[in-house]
Structure 1
Amino acid sequence: MPPFDPELSVALESLGNGPRAPVTPENLAARQERDAATRPRPTAEDLRADGRFEVAELSVPALRDGPDVTLVSVRPAGREGPLPLLYYMHGGAMIMGNAWSVLPRIQREWVLPLDMCVISVEYRLAPQTRYPGPLEDCYAGLLWATEHAAELGIDTDRVIIGGKSAGGGLAAALALLVRDRGVPDILGQLLLCPMLDDRGHTFSSHQMSGLGMWDLISNETAWKALLGDRHGAADVPPYAAPARATDLSGLPPAFIDVGSAEMFRDEDVAYANAIWRSGGQAELHVWPGAYHGFDGLAPQAAISKDARDARTRWLRRLLTHSRSTEPRPAG
């Protein structure tokens, strides 16, 4: 196996074995209950951070049968006019997580420094809701947000979709869905260690299983929760598992990063390569010695800081380029 980065290795060892125990069908319900009880869920008042941000929790209609979709919108306080939007999907392997917990870090690292707004979507989790429910939640929220851009203060020419782990997989799937449905326009896709392939047949998925923060047993449990009997079948659609896509042409530019010492390494590298082979644009970072979720577990490690800086530079470059190519007014 590739060796872990020394700083990341210390953080991993300090965690102990409990949080790293595999998720299985037998313990899934208990793990979900524990996650719901212990994962941070800041309130709107918390997110306002003494008035530095404007925060709104929105309930928007589903496009198909299903409950309304909750969106959490955050933007810098006092900013007039349309701002770029990062439409974000949280991680948690499609079975855990919430839309609120990811926001403090995004506010700190991107909302203020890049003068943009973020909408985090509370999609339904598996196995209570199987594919395509979570993806349709994400699409319904995105479509509603862009259709109500004027009242939300969103610049529809600068909408970026993104997410981490399962959220990164949902962002990749959403990019495919938006391409094929034709609306709305997307400027870029930010895919952080995305969960893309339900088949578990890559070399890294076996090489790294049980050695970091996420293993093959947990991954199979999560995919089965999402896909049910369709898991591993030949006809799983790319909107469910983007690694299944055979045509990645016509997608917005992608940023993809992953650790060299995690099971998603090979599927993420292959996805970037498939984008290039389809004539698209992708920026790929493989962080040496990094395991899944490394920057969250060891945020002060040098490699974690480098990873966050690379993501911010890509976002800034994408947004700056979009401004520089806007048509100038006549006269």
Structure 2
Amino acid sequence: MTMARPGLDPQLRQLLADMPLMSRLDPEVLAQLRRLPSTPVEPLLAHRHVDRREVTVPAEDGTPIPVSVFSPAHTERTTAAPCVYWMHGGGMVMGDRFSQIDIPLEWLDAFGAVVVSVDYRLAPEATGAALVNDCYRGLLWVVEHAVELGIDPARIVVAGASAGAGLAAGVTLLARDLGTPAIAAQMLICPMLDHRNTSTSSRQYSDGPGVWTREMNEFGWRCVLGDLTDDEVSAYVSPALADDLSGLPTTYVDTGSAEVFRDENAEYATRIWAAGGQAELHVWAGGFHGFDALYPQAHISATARRTRADWLTRVLRPDSAAQQCLPTH
């Protein structure tokens, strides 16, 4: 018997009805998906004045990790630019640094941010902390080259969608615990935070609707964790395991009411508040997993994207850090 669950936004339901959805995810299906062409970035850059730079950053074991840097072109700046350090989605098993790149490129347009996107290694070829460590190494490279890139190191946001948002949360925890680098904010879009997959929303969406089900989530996590037992899983890999969420930068979390990650996302924001931190949580009524990336033309998607951009604009004002430090009475 199917559990009661929130319904889809009417417009999203209509759009989703015309889309063929995967019924399962396994090694054979994953191999087929990986053979599909990568997301073309050139059409997204064609109407923008953007300088693009491709580099590689060595992982801990020396493996070269591709990183793309997109900067506003021909811009006369009196101050260094904010930076959005982007981690793509794909269940930690697929996608590349150009997946969902249209989202942070909108922030390049909106407030002149330099967008840096990292091509972390994927599971199951890479397992455990390798993925989050790749992302952390890329972030360290950004900070080390901030002057060269025209970036203000005090205004770096780590951001991602789905698996990438889970990795962004892990990178933020890692940076906090290691004491470097400073992160101004984290933007977590429907983050993949908890390998245990036991929440009510996970059970509600075991068979869809949408593009990411409980069963697909279980497959993704099995690929990431490999032979690790539950006791061996790090909070940097599965951030919901973190005992302490204090000392984190201001955080934005958004999710849909009709998706697998709804409850773990809401709980993560709640625990940040409980630890004395600042978080903004949006649960979009009727939104399924990744709705705004899949259907940006939908009204709910446009609203979600605009709300994120408004928040980032506030957070990344040059005087925002000073404003946040003002005493309250």
Same fold (TM over 0.5): yes
- Offset of 1:318 from its aligned partner? 0.2
Pick one of 78, 82, 85 that aligns with 1:84. 82
Say which SS state the counterpart of residue 27 (structure 1) adopts: helix
Question: 2:58 matched to 1:61?
Answer: yes
User: What percent identity do the matched residue pairs reach?
Assistant: 45
Pick one of 188, 192, 196 that aligns with 1:191. 188
User: One-letter code of the match for 1:297?
Assistant: L
User: One-letter code of the match for 1:213?
Assistant: V
Pick one of 178, 182, 186 that aligns with 1:181. 178
Structure-1 residue corresponding to 2:249: 252
Say which SS state the counterpart of residue 316 (structure 2) adopts: helix
Once residues 292 and 103 of structure 2 are traced to their aligned partners in structure 1, the CA distance between those partners, rounded to angstroms, is: 11
Question: 2:101 matched to 1:99?
Answer: no
Structure-2 residue corresponding to 1:298: 295
Gaps of 5+ in 1: 327-331
Say which SS state the counterpart of residue 289 (structure 1) adopts: coil
- Offset of 1:325 from its aligned partner? 2.0
Once residues 240 and 320 of structure 2 are traced to their aligned partners in structure 1, the CA distance between those partners, rounded to angstroms, is: 32
Structure-2 residue corresponding to 1:316: 313
Structure-1 residue corresponding to 2:69: 73
- Offset of 1:260 from its aligned partner? 0.2
Structure-1 residue corresponding to 2:37: 38
- Offset of 1:49 from its aligned partner? 2.5
- Offset of 1:239 from its aligned partner? 0.4
Superposition pairs of residues 191-210 of structure 1, within 5 angstroms: 191-210=188-207
Pick one of 219, 222, 233 that aligns with 1:221. 219
User: One-letter code of the match for 2:41?
Assistant: P
Checking the alignment, whether the CA contact within 8 Å between 1:205 and 1:264 is kept in structure 2 is yes
Pick one of 96, 107, 124 that aligns with 1:127. 124
Aligned length: 316
Once residues 181 and 243 of structure 2 are traced to their aligned partners in structure 1, the CA distance between those partners, rounded to angstroms, is: 22
Once residues 84 and 132 of structure 2 are traced to their aligned partners in structure 1, the CA distance between those partners, rounded to angstroms, is: 17
CA gap 1:257/1:26 in 2 versus in 1, 3 angstroms: same
User: One-letter code of the match for 1:242?
Assistant: P
Report the TM-score, using the length of structure 1 for normalisation.
Answer: 0.91
Checking the alignment, whether the CA contact within 8 Å between 1:47 and 1:53 is kept in structure 2 is no
CA gap 1:303/1:121 in 2 versus in 1, 3 angstroms: same
CA gap 1:324/1:167 in 2 versus in 1, 3 angstroms: closer
CA gap 1:249/1:51 in 2 versus in 1, 3 angstroms: closer
Say which SS state the counterpart of residue 20 (structure 1) adopts: coil
- Offset of 1:105 from its aligned partner? 4.1
Map Cα deviations across residues 244-284 of structure 1 (whole Å, 9 max, x no partner). Answer: 11100000010000000001001000100111111111000
Structure-2 residue corresponding to 1:234: 231
User: One-letter code of the match for 2:50?
Assistant: F
Report the TM-score, using the length of structure 2 for normalisation.
Answer: 0.92
